[in-house]
Amino acid sequence: MTKKIRTLSVRNIPRFSLRDYLLLTIGALVSAINVDLFLAPVNIAPGGVSGAAIILNEFTNWPIGLVMLVLNIPLLALGFRYLGRFRFLVRTAYVVTLFSLGIDLLARWLPPDGLTDDLMLNALFGGVVGGIGSGLIYLGQGTSGGTGILGRLMQRRTGIPLSQVYLFTDGGIVLVAGLAFGWEMALYALIALFIWGMAADQILEGPSVIRTALIVTDQPEEVSRVVFEHLILGITAWPARGMFTDSKHTVLFCTVNRPDVNALRSVVLKVDPNAFIVIGHGHQAVGGMVGRNASSND
């Protein structure tokens, strides 16, 4: 009778990255400070396990960080079982532990009543600072556990888009917060939750610093030459056909920095007054030809 020897694949061993763990550490500490300074003092509970812990703290006086840690234990077990085992567990457990303990330990040195008693300021800054913390954690290839784990599990099981799942999980906690603290506080929590997502996106993707340009023209050679001479931008071209007129055109594509959008429009229309120009938003251009202003895939 032969025994099966289960080997641990190299792919399942979590890799240590100093940069990632530095981001995870800073993100977890920023998130802990956010709870202590802006959310807990005024009972703003914008979803997540931290929101549930704030609600429980109001009625039981149990430490918020300890409650978060206890609530996260079964969620971590589920995540370990269904979301990647050790690759998932190590970083998430690190963030959850640091985040939870940080709330209770840092509270000893931070103002117990926060920085202000203005609810709107607490909601706004709670959303911004919380989003920064979450964004740093995501950049470090980690998660803060909590309803994020539950949301991903529900998404896998049901196929519902993740954004809708988060609406159910976090929205449910905001609903409970409304019942516990009043509906005005629930509205402030929704403001914080909305800004939280926007701030996290800014940290993850950065500000929209470039523009993408699509130019439909019948003079591609002349337009490309003038754009390169004036703005030093690489251009990619492909043939196109007008579906209404059945006429052939050429589509040019390039990226351009925001201050140069008007200059691009001007030089293109000077060469081809009938050109059709569409300017879009871009967060980052990587690779390709790098000119004075932006990158292109030419």
The span from the CA of 284 to the CA of 287, in Å, is: 10
Residues in the chain: 298
Residue 115: pLDDT over 50: yes
pLDDT band at 288 (very low <50, low <70, confident <90, very high): low
pLDDT of residue 163: 57
CATH tag, 210-296: 3.30.70.120
- For 287, the 3-state DSSP assignment is coil
Q: Name the amino acid, one letter, at 106.
A: L
The span from the CA of 237 to the CA of 214, in Å, is: 10
pLDDT of residue 20: 87
Q: Name the residue among 202, 200, 196, 198 with its Cα closest to residue 137.
A: 200
Query: Quick one: how many helices (H) and strands (E) in the chain?
Result: 10, 6
- Dihedrals φ, ψ of 225, to 5°? -65, -45
Query: How many Å separate Cα 275 from the centre of its chain?
Result: 37
Weakest mean pLDDT among 40-54, 105-119, 284-298:
284-298
Residue 117: pLDDT over 60: yes
- For 278, the 3-state DSSP assignment is strand
Q: Name the residue among 27, 48, 34, 188 with its Cα closest to residue 56.
A: 48
pTM (2 decimals)?
Answer: 0.72
165: number of Cβ within 10 Å: 21
pLDDT band at 290 (very low <50, low <70, confident <90, very high): very low
Weakest mean pLDDT among 207-211, 240-244, 269-273:
207-211
The tens digit of pLDDT for each residue in 64-86 reads: 999 999 999 988 888 887 776 67
pLDDT band at 118 (very low <50, low <70, confident <90, very high): very high
Q: Name the residue among 205, 202, 208, 224 with its Cα closest to residue 298.
A: 224
* Residue range(s) in the chain whose domain bears CATH number 3.30.70.120: 210-296
